[in-house]
Structure 1
Amino acid sequence: MQLGITGNIDSEEGVSSPNNLLFLGFHGYGNDESEMVRIINAICGTNDADSANGTNSYGTSAPDDNTATASSTGNTATTPVHSPITRRTNYLSFRAPHARPYIGGHYWYPDGCSVSERRRACTEIGDSVVKLLDTPAFGRFRKVLIGFSQGGYLSYRMVAEHPDVFDAAILLSPSFKGEAASEPPATRTRFALCYGTADHTIPAADQQCARAKLTATGNCTVFEYPGMAHAVCDQEIADLRAWLEL
């Protein structure tokens, strides 16, 4: 299994992001690591001045400047490349291991696969990410998972299987199929769960399941956006910034 990683890590203490956060980004089906870079930098207030460091106003990485491939087998992963995008935002954004050969983009697990296949894929990726984080370089950070759609479900499974690793998990319109019979995770992790009222990509029953499981943890804030489809909106960005106290 190979995970592409793009990232920015401040090597000096005292110059890291507000609240000493390290974002760990997981994109949606058919996208790549740049999707979460844009969202993370929007939440953290990256502005046009960063274009001089290889980004545009949305925080999208300039091509070929800062992407490395991290190879993993089982529970191993290599150290990511450190890219000088901004000294304010510390993040690692991951690219899914499966590429769509004709129409582009990547995915974490096949669309329409079984619950057991989906969980198995999430376990393999989660174990690799947790092993990567188990180094002194990452010990000083508060770790925040953030994922959209498939990446949101992956983030949820990572908390469920590693309940003591992550400080927060932001689940943006997560897929949640097959979780109705599972127990809510026993974890200290704070959750932010976001859906749009016009999201017809994620079935209503799965959205309701996600709300039930996460609110049962006693540590979840649910955000709902009238008229938003399977997407991310400006108000969502503002709400998450406030939720993180940035």
Structure 2
Amino acid sequence: MQMTSQIDAGGNDPIFLMFHGYGNDESEMMRILDAVYAPTRADAAPAAIAAVPSYISFRATYARPYMGGNYWYPDGCGVDERQRECAAVGDAVASLLDASAFAHRRKILIGFSQGGYLSYRLVKVHPTLFDAAILLSPSFMGEEQAALDSPTRFFLAYGAQDRTIPLPDQQTAHQVLERAGHLTYREYSGMAHAICDEEIADIRDFLRAI
């Protein structure tokens, strides 16, 4: 697992832990965070969202042969394998965050698709470690009976035309996180398995509120 980071060593701003989707790399999430932190026309953002963010953007464990990009767990694998792969990444991330430099900083997860499910599993296994988690178009296949006991605040979003993530898996994500509490849910008309400008604006608003 490789990573790219930008960290203000002397600051106490939030640190974003970012996990890309299947077939991509760490630059995917860096582009999303850049969009969230881009100046708005009103330019009235609070300090928490106006500064250059600190982040660690991770490249997934496995390289995709021939086609390029990386993945966190094999496409189409079983639930047990998905959870094992996510647990291994979670243990490595938790060990990294044990450093004194991160002790007093808010820790915010952001993940798209596979990276969104991975972010959820990090909270599931380490329920008090993360302050917030932004899950963009994740699959919750196999999590139908999951119970999450965590104070972590969640932002969950899907495109209304997303056919990559089956609707029942989207509904499972909504139900599991709604039962846990602290959920902000958004759906975007006309959007498939992607990111849109309205979603970026909603992420920005979510971060201002936490």
Give the drift of 1:46: 6.5
Give the drift of 1:140: 2.4
Q: Tell me the residue number matched to 1:27.
A: 20
Q: Tell me the residue number matched to 2:94.
A: 130
State the alpha-carbon separation in 2 of the partners of residues 151 and 138 from structure 1. 22
SS in 2 for 1:245: helix
Task: Output one character per residue of 1:31-66: Cα deviation in whole Å (capped at 9) or x when no partner.
Answer: 00000001111112269xxxxxxxxxxxxxxxxxxx
Of 158, 174, 190 in structure 2, the residue corresponding to residue 227 of structure 1 is 190
Matches within 5 A, 1:76-95: 88-95=52-59
State the alpha-carbon separation in 2 of the partners of residues 189 and 98 from structure 1. 28
Dislocated runs of 4+, deviation >2 Å: none
Q: Tell me the residue number matched to 2:3.
A: 5
State the alpha-carbon separation in 1 of the partners of residues 159 and 121 from structure 2. 21
Identity %: 57
1:171 aligns with 2:138: no
State the alpha-carbon separation in 2 of the partners of residues 162 and 12 from structure 1. 26
TM-score, normalised by the number of residues in structure 2:
0.92
TM-score, normalised by the number of residues in structure 1:
0.79
State the alpha-carbon separation in 1 of the partners of residues 152 and 196 from structure 2. 24
State the alpha-carbon separation in 1 of the partners of residues 15 and 39 from structure 2. 15
SS in 1 for 2:180: coil
Give the drift of 1:142: 0.4
SS in 2 for 1:193: strand
Give the drift of 1:181: 2.1
Unmatched segments (≥5 aa) in structure 1:
48-86
Task: Output one character per residue of 1:13-45: Cα deviation in whole Å (capped at 9) or x when no partner.
Answer: 3xx6xxx21111000000000000011111122
Q: Which has the higher helix share?
A: 2
Letter paired with 2:96: L
Q: Tell me the residue number matched to 1:71.
A: none
1:197 aligns with 2:160: yes
SS in 1 for 2:56: strand
